[in-house]
Structure 1
Amino acid sequence: MATELPAAIELRHRAHADPRASGDEEDTAALVVEALGAGEGVQVAKTGRAVLLPGSAGGPAVALRSELDALPVTERTGVAWASQSDLMHACGHDVHLAALVAVCRSAVEIGVPKPILALLQPREETSPSGAFDVVGSGVLAEHDVDAVIGAHVQPRLTQGVVSAAPGPVNASTDEFEVIVHGQGGHAGYPHLLRDPILALSQVVVSLQQLASRRIDPIFGAVCSIGRIQAGAAANVVPNHASAFGSLRLMRAADRDVALDALAEIVQGTAKAHGCTAELRISPCEPVLHNDPGLATRAQAWLARTPRIDVDTEFRSFGADDFAHYCGATRGLMMFVGLGDSAGAPSLHDERFLPQDTAVGLVANALIAGYLAAMES
């Protein structure tokens, strides 16, 4: 595979310099398909592609998945190949795509027994997700895919560490909107009003007990508010105030409990302040469960790979639509360490920029996943 890495890194730079938004990835897909050199494949999820590389023994295929889309982030890395638009590959998808190309081109060169389905997936960063549509398209069944393998860069792991943990490794996520309705008016006469901002502020504070007091701490939960919207003037209390957030869980059985508690806190807190409230839920991704057999066998292959240390426990309350593949067939998502140093840019940061060496590390993780699937 080493001979393919220079061209793969060049591809990474090209994709990084010219990113595309979720739902507008045709150009990126075409760039990667051209680099694969294995035909046009088929269109999936509107802007994605699936390209089949035959295996000498035939039989069920192993899908290797990489994501096409970038984020609405203005880049601040300063490299010569930085994006000049208001989009950025700030989640490592450019690295994943390059690694997939290196693996697939090597597989064609040396020949492999099981077919590989190169899955270039759109819309990982938005909802409804691209993975959900890929599964719904029937392309996995059409190519008799019995395992889907993915690998994601992770700055919270030390460089050279690859995690292949069995069971739940990424949280489910539901996004929600809270709208508190009150009685606005002059800020100098609060006794005549029903202040929706005060009520919403208490809702936000009270929601923090959802994770700490309603869900078993062994499994955990995260309830975060990312945006608050209210009013237009300092001396006017508005009639409405809104908050937007996400609820994340590591166990599917906790979802109904958490959503009931969310509604109870919102409605009860608003009522205590003389207001009413609406709660709107937008389901996004399920819990991502790694197949235990795939994870265990991948650990063994990773342990044989030079300059890679194996982690078997890393889990994240981030969410990934890869979870939909795990609900359709066997799935394995691995995490590839970039260096857990204090102050290092995180995923989705405007300064986030994995070193080019990450392409080889992600490629080795994909190979270990393929070999694990082939063994079974």
Structure 2
Amino acid sequence: MVFTVTASPSVDTSRIRLQIRALQPQLSVWRRQLHQRPELGFQEQFTSEFIAAKLREWGIEHETGVAQTGIVALVKGDRPGPVLAIRADMDALPIQEENEVDYRSQHDGRMHACGHDGHVAIALGTAYYLSQHRDFAGTVKFIFQPAEEGPGGAQPMVAAGVLNNPDVNAIIGLHLWNNLPLGQVGIRAGAMMAAVELFECTIHGRGGHGAMPHQTVDSILVGAQVVTALQTIVARNLDPLQSGVVTVGKFEAGKASNVIADSAYLRGTVRYFDPALANFFDRRIEDIIAGTCRSHGATYEFHYHRLYPPVINDGAIAHLIRSVAEDVVETPAGVVPDCQTMGGEDMSFFLQEVPGCYFFLGSANIDRGLAYPHHHPRFDFDETALGLGVEIFVRCVERFGTNTHPLDGISR
């Protein structure tokens, strides 16, 4: 296994205010309680009840049952100002956990293998701190979102009106990121994460005896040529200055070594940053499949699904978060600019509606064995990142309500 993190971090937390440092043990407790009870998309009943119980305990105004299991909460400052939303996703993955820790998943086949338990803990910590320290301008709307891993909870929450009443002026969110060492912050104005699109194709040939191929239309041969030809899309049809990925992740055909299969099934994913490519890949993929099948006398069925658009960060909000991060993190190269990944996120649906920024908070610690990649059965992270996340969020709230930073296009 190869990790992208190559150095063990040493993080000075002195820039985290004392009240948030004191909250760090509780953040870890919350995260571990959630880690033990992972739930899949739109099934986050325990998680939702856990969050709601904390909000009730702290006297924070909130609404439950939004887009099935989502929660929206409001914390108002002591003076008027803009509305900043903070989004945290809640769901887990269908993965069997292999970590031998006392807080390991209690549900077979389910695991928080992407850090969403930490995202909830950070948002809860931020909500608690702000409810106790309301010396900021404006209102903070906390959006606890279900089903980021699939089938997607952001779009239903937008449709449910979570960005209204009161109207959100901007939205921020973070992802704990084991591709960066603890304490580093990855951020970028513009496209940061890719669109996620899926395709599937069944190729219909004519089966027969493996020793008599002239009597058949070999669906495996056709499928293999389709897989190869699809790789020409990025290499020869896309502008070399643009980024794109076409991956066939599943190829199923045949049952015996001496039988030519009459059908083959392909399934894959497409990734890109430029929204202008939204209608490009599906047409080109089908053109290649159709042409290849026609040349061999095969037929096909093709389905294409646009899952998430690219994550496009607003420049002014990215500047705000970067300025905060530069004041908080003290590791070498603490802020990683122009950070991008072909991974996808349905935070993109919120960013299509209001200006905002999604960023990465480094959470890997190789010395402690906490550097397995996301979606790995041994994924875990350094919980020191939880306090860092709360501090960054709180400072963003405090600065967003002032006029000390240019927030172009943000209505006040």
Normalised by the size of structure 1, how large is the TM-score? 0.95
Change in Cα spacing, 1:340 to 1:237, as seen in structure 2 (3 Å) is farther
Identify the range of structure 1 (54-63 vs 297-306) with the bigger mean alpha-carbon deviation. 54-63
Structure 2 residue corresponding to 1:4, chosen from 18, 23, 26: 23
Q: Deviations over 1:89-129 (max 9, x none)?
A: 011101111111111111111113221111110010112x2
8 Å contact from structure 2 (residues 253, 263) kept in 1: yes
Question: What SS class does the counterpart of residue 198 from structure 1 fall into?
Answer: helix
Cα distance in 1, alignment partners of residues 267 and 308 from structure 2: 17
C-alpha displacement of 1:219: 2.1
8 Å contact from structure 2 (residues 199, 303) kept in 1: yes
C-alpha displacement of 1:39: 4.5
C-alpha displacement of 1:370: 3.0
Is residue 316 from structure 1 mapped to residue 335 from structure 2 by the alignment? no
Structure 1 residue corresponding to 2:147, chosen from 123, 147, 150: 123
C-alpha displacement of 1:231: 2.7
Structure 1 residue corresponding to 2:295, chosen from 272, 275, 278: 272
Q: Tell me, which stretches of 5 or more residues in structure 2 are unaligned?
A: 1-19, 408-412
Q: Which residue of 1 aligns with 2:85?
A: 63
Q: Deviations over 1:6-61 (max 9, x none)?
A: 11110100000110011101210111222233245243111111111122223432
Cα distance in 1, alignment partners of residues 240 and 372 from structure 2: 28
Amino acid at match of 1:365: I
Q: Which residue of 2 aligns with 1:222?
A: 245
C-alpha displacement of 1:329: 0.5
Q: Which residue of 1 aligns with 2:204?
A: 181
8 Å contact from structure 2 (residues 210, 258) kept in 1: yes
Cα distance in 2, alignment partners of residues 131 and 272 from structure 1: 42
Cα distance in 1, alignment partners of residues 181 and 397 from structure 2: 23
Cα distance in 2, alignment partners of residues 187 and 219 from structure 1: 43
Superposed, which structure 2 residues align to 1:1-376 within 5 Å? 1-36=20-55, 37=58, 38-84=60-106, 85-111=108-134, 112-127=136-151, 129-307=152-330, 309-339=334-364, 344-371=371-398, 373-375=400-402, 376=407
8 Å contact from structure 1 (residues 8, 102) kept in 2: yes
Change in Cα spacing, 1:53 to 1:83, as seen in structure 2 (3 Å) is same
8 Å contact from structure 2 (residues 171, 350) kept in 1: yes
Cα distance in 2, alignment partners of residues 360 and 116 from structure 1: 18
Amino acid at match of 1:354: F
Question: What SS class does the counterpart of residue 77 from structure 1 fall into?
Answer: coil
Q: Tell me, which stretches of 5 or more residues in structure 1 are unaligned?
A: none
Amino acid at match of 2:346: D
Cα distance in 2, alignment partners of residues 340 and 324 from structure 1: 32
Amino acid at match of 1:121: Q
Amino acid at match of 1:28: T
Cα distance in 2, alignment partners of residues 7 and 241 from structure 1: 52
C-alpha displacement of 1:192: 0.8
Cα distance in 2, alignment partners of residues 361 and 187 from structure 1: 62
Query: How many residues are aligned here?
Result: 375
Question: What SS class does the counterpart of residue 87 from structure 1 fall into?
Answer: coil
8 Å contact from structure 1 (residues 184, 193) kept in 2: yes
Cα distance in 2, alignment partners of residues 340 and 167 from structure 1: 29
Change in Cα spacing, 1:188 to 1:157, as seen in structure 2 (3 Å) is same
Cα distance in 1, alignment partners of residues 375 and 401 from structure 2: 34
Cα distance in 1, alignment partners of residues 346 and 167 from structure 2: 21
Cα distance in 2, alignment partners of residues 202 and 133 from structure 1: 39
Question: What SS class does the counterpart of residue 271 from structure 2 fall into?
Answer: strand
8 Å contact from structure 2 (residues 365, 382) kept in 1: no
Normalised by the size of structure 2, how large is the TM-score? 0.87
Amino acid at match of 1:350: P
Q: Deviations over 1:318-356 (max 9, x none)?
A: 110000001110121011113497994211111110121
8 Å contact from structure 1 (residues 286, 323) kept in 2: yes
Cα distance in 2, alignment partners of residues 198 and 75 from structure 1: 38
Cα distance in 1, alignment partners of residues 329 and 264 from structure 2: 55
Question: What SS class does the counterpart of residue 102 from structure 1 fall into?
Answer: helix
Amino acid at match of 2:120: L
Cα distance in 1, alignment partners of residues 226 and 387 from structure 2: 47
8 Å contact from structure 2 (residues 23, 387) kept in 1: no
Q: Deviations over 1:230-285 (max 9, x none)?
A: 23333322221111111111101123232222111111122233212222101111
Cα distance in 2, alignment partners of residues 15 and 275 from structure 1: 50
Q: Deviations over 1:213-241 (max 9, x none)?
A: 21123221011122222233333222211
